[in-house]
A and B are shown apart, each in its own frame.
Chain A
Amino acid sequence: MLKSNFSLQKTFLSLMILSMFLFLFIFIAIPIIKLLLTSLSDPQGSFVGFENFKEYFRQGEFRTSLVNSLIVSFSSSIISITLALGFAFATTRTNIKFKAVLKSIAMIPLFAPTMLYGISLIYLFGNQGIFTKFFSDSFSIYGLWGIIIAESFYIFPHLFLILYVSLRSYDSSLYEAADMMNARGMKKFIKITLPSIKYGLITAFFVGFTLSLTDFGAPKIIGGRTNVLATEVSKYILGQQNFQIGAVASLFLLIPAGLSFFIENLASKRQKAFYSHGSKNFELRKNKFRFVFFTIFAVFISVIIIGFLSVSIFASVTTLWPYNLKLTLSNYDFSRFNMGGFNVWKTIIVALVSAFFGSIICFTNAYLIQKEKALLPFQKASRLLSMIPMALPGLVLGISYILFFNSPTLSIPFTNIKIPNALAFLYGTPVIIVIANIVHFYSVPYLTSTSALKKIDSNFQAAAQTMNASKLTVFFKVFIPISLPSLLEIFVYFFTNSMVTISAVIFLYTANFKPMSVAIIGMEESGNIAVAAALSVSIVFINIFARLIYIGLTRLLNIKRKKWDKF
């Protein structure tokens, strides 16, 4: 006999799990499937096999872009890893001062749209750049050099974070043993430190490679006539409206991203195993050479990061860089320009709405997947779907969304059945941008929620049930209050990323609503580079402001929670 314990609560729970699954399936899986199908079809939707691929390979530009992309991604990863490793070493293994400040400076690039690095480079080394005259005439920042430098900035904080975590914990006994054998500093670094963070280095390399491969903003601004895969993809879609070839080209972004996600995952599992048997840290010993060397290094990097940002700030408040340096705020008077549907407040509201719903959806879904057992197959499917956005470049997501939401009917593969697309009405509304933001940045907050929930006793719901309390009560009165710090963190993550992102929204903005990041591209294209700089700088300051509010709220929260929170 099977007891069917039918109740309202269980029905509600199952419905929640089902709707969360449907959200992920409709907005992640179906658009990707649509993208794959498009790459194998002609414009009328008939299956043509690999014809589009052949067509794509026939074009010479493909090979050039591919090679360029590989050069850019490889070089910027190597450059940035080297610098990030030094910076992470300085902030974990040396006695340098003001580590907290240095760490915050390393995070600054996260607040800026990638276009900003291109703009700063133009001001420094471009046609009217202040340093341009020191270089020979044959040198041009517009092209590979510019892209590589810009991407190195962009990926620096990501790589720094990974290496910082790898370097932070270590087994002191290895170093003590080496000391007894009288090993020198460099030898210890090569023989002990590097091997102990090898998985961190591998992960950092692939993260850097993927981020710079799939970035659209920097190459768009500083690439000049040099094409990389990301700019080429957008040309097919936005310029030629050739969706079939565009779909094929975007697969060349998706495949390396997917592959590196896989390798990263493997590496991080190994890394965990490496530290499983307790690593102990020891007091850092005084070492004068180390102190001086890394102080200089860390200050140097910090100055470059701040300097790079300052160039855009300064240029945006001058009348005409570099000829008339009279200060002015006219570049911040965005209403002077016709930027079709652009509005600062709307951009902030869309980012806030994305952050709000993104946080709710992520946390609820992580909760349902981890703490409940009502519809196991759907819970498992949701767990898998939740990790896909991590491997999904924004450009690919954006293209999938146009393909999916723009088609009035959907044909089911291998049949002749066509069904009307009930979601087509979303096309051309800001809602689609909100959804794209939520999906694009979904995985990291999902993982944050999951690890926050893992720390919570799994018997809370059972205990509450025996006390006649509903699951909803426990969710709101226990799970949410306990996870509030993580929820705040998730919220600013969504907000900041929604503010800086360009890759998915470049395909999805509408005549009525154009986000700031898209307006940057438009201004730069029309030669108003100072306004593009002003827009980029505004985004940075809005994000820093949001960050400060976040820090303030977290402090307040911690004071309130001090009595009961263990951490």
Chain B
Amino acid sequence: MMKANKNLIQIENVSKKYGNTFALKNINLEIFEGEFLCLLGPSGCGKSTLLRILAGLETNYDGKILKNGKEIDAIEPGKRKFGMVFQSYSLFPNMSVEKNIEFALKAFKYEKQKINAKIESVLELTNLLEHRKKFPNQLSGGQQQRVALARAIAPEPTVLLLDEPLSALDFKVREELRQQLKKIQRDIGVTTIMVTHDQEEALSLADRVAVMNHAELVQISTPEEIYRNPKSFFVANFIGTMNNIYNKFIRPEDVKISDKKGCNTHSGIVISNEFRGFYRRIKLKSEIENEKKEIIVDIPIFHHQDRSFNEGESIHFNLPQEVVSEQIKERIC
């Protein structure tokens, strides 16, 4: 978890252009010691570029990167001692699991006696002891990603940078690895910055989420805060589905189906009904205060089990208390 809020990395006014288009535009971001920060945003918004700048792999940019208050822009990647994991794993195929890890330790000039013990301990941490002699292509995608992680954390980096580490994996493996990743990060307490375009991944792993769009940072908060109080419709919609009613963002699960008419009750016609496992998503065509709207409603599967919500059916729904039009307020509920 987040320790004392000691500021470790500071990104100041960082901008990067490719040709005439911005890959990053005026990014300001603080990273605290020991935290797990997720950079979340759609593909092409500049997340990897920011991560590569932090790693020292990109050198032509505007702005500054500070570590413990000191500029590190001119410091080479290796001397920064930031561990990095790429989406493609980037394991050396001609080296066994332990040789891959040894490669990193040797490059960081670990003493010979310590290397073996270190390999042992990271393999244990990542649950790979039995695979140490195997080569990357003899391992599954999930195992390969764990080797990449082991190789990155073995030299005890000050910051761990992860670029979409789970994106190439199947859903099942991804869920499993997510738990492991979180556990490992907590065990060793390394400050971690992970790039992802998967909002569920970001919300479930991160201490804080930094949402990016079109080369800009649009919101930084805890996952709960991002989910509950998105500052823009982009964030709201990217984090999950949202209804925009009277310029307020209403989550589909906050719209309630009701049987009787109240004063904040509206009616609509079902246009689609999708079964989604533990809930049911219904789209309604509705008219709220003379404005045509499409409303999305999520109904837990054990609610309203007696009803079918067929297409064309007319139903009633309640909006949350805070979403009340001036006209309704006057009616005094």
Contact = CB atoms under 8 A, between A and B. Distances in A.
Interface of A: 1-5, 7, 9, 457, 459-460, 462-469, 473, 477-478, 481-482, 561, 563-566
A481 B82 CA distance: 27
A184 to B, nearest CB: 47
Most chain-A CB neighbours within 10 Å: which of B52, B79, B90, B161? B90
Given A5-B76, A564-B136, A468 B90 contact: no
Contacts of B258: none
A95 B57 CA distance: 54
B84 interface: yes
Contacts of A466: 55-57, 77-78, 80, 82-84, 152, 161
24 contacts: A1-B62, A5-B56, A5-B73, A5-B74, A459-B90, A460-B90, A462-B55, A462-B77, A464-B103, A465-B57, A466-B78, A466-B152, A467-B104, A467-B108, A467-B155, A468-B78, A468-B81, A468-B108, A468-B155, A473-B107, A482-B94, A564-B135, A564-B136, A566-B93
A465 B77 contact: yes
Nearest to A480: B94
A145 B64 CA distance: 76
A3 B74 contact: yes
Interface of B: 52, 55-57, 59-64, 73-74, 76-84, 86, 88, 90, 92-95, 103-104, 107-109, 135-138, 151-152, 155, 161
A486 to B, nearest CB: 14
A460 B103 CA distance: 12
Contacts of A561: 94
Contact of A482 (B77, B79, B93): B93
A469 B86 contact: no
A477 B80 CA distance: 23
Given A460-B90, A563-B138, A564-B93, A468 B59 contact: no
A469 B89 CA distance: 17
A561 B137 CA distance: 12
A469 B105 CA distance: 10
Contact of A468 (B74, B88, B107): B107
A563 B135 CA distance: 7
A468 B107 CA distance: 5
Contacts of A464: 103, 107
B57 A462 contact: yes
A3 B61 contact: yes
Contacts of B104: 467-469
A466 B163 CA distance: 13
Contacts of B90: 457, 459-460, 462-463
Given A482-B93, A566-B137, A2 B60 contact: yes
A34 B2 CA distance: 70
Going nearest first, the 7 A-B pairs with the smallest beta carbon separation are: A468-B78, A564-B135, A469-B107, A463-B90, A5-B59, A465-B77, A466-B84
A464 B56 CA distance: 12
Given A3-B73, A478-B94, A457 B88 contact: yes
Nearest to B76: A7
Nearest to A466: B84
Contacts of B137: 564-566
Given A7-B76, A464-B103, 5 more contacts: A2-B60, A4-B59, A5-B59, A466-B161, A467-B107
Contacts of A563: 135, 138
A468 B55 CA distance: 11
A454 to B, nearest CB: 14
A529 to B, nearest CB: 52
- Select the residue from A2, A457, A460, A463 with max chain B CB neighbours within 10 A: A463
Contacts of B61: 3
Contacts of B78: 465-469
Contacts of B63: 1
Contacts of A2: 60
Contacts of B151: 467
A369 to B, nearest CB: 20
A465 B76 contact: yes
Contacts of A566: 93, 137
Contacts of B94: 478, 481-482, 561, 564
Contacts of A478: 92, 94-95
B55 to A, nearest CB: 5
A477 B103 contact: yes
B86 A462 contact: yes
Nearest to A478: B92
Contacts of A459: 86, 88, 90
A478 B90 CA distance: 11
B106 to A, nearest CB: 8
A564 B99 CA distance: 13
Contacts of A463: 84, 86, 90
A3 to B, nearest CB: 5
A468 B57 contact: no
Nearest to B62: A1
Contacts of A467: 78, 103-104, 107-108, 151, 155
A52 B134 CA distance: 69
A2 B104 CA distance: 30
Nearest to A484: B94
A476 to B, nearest CB: 12
Nearest to B79: A468
A384 B12 CA distance: 41
A3 B103 CA distance: 29
Contacts of A481: 94
Contacts of A4: 59, 74
A469 B84 CA distance: 13
Nearest to A8: B76
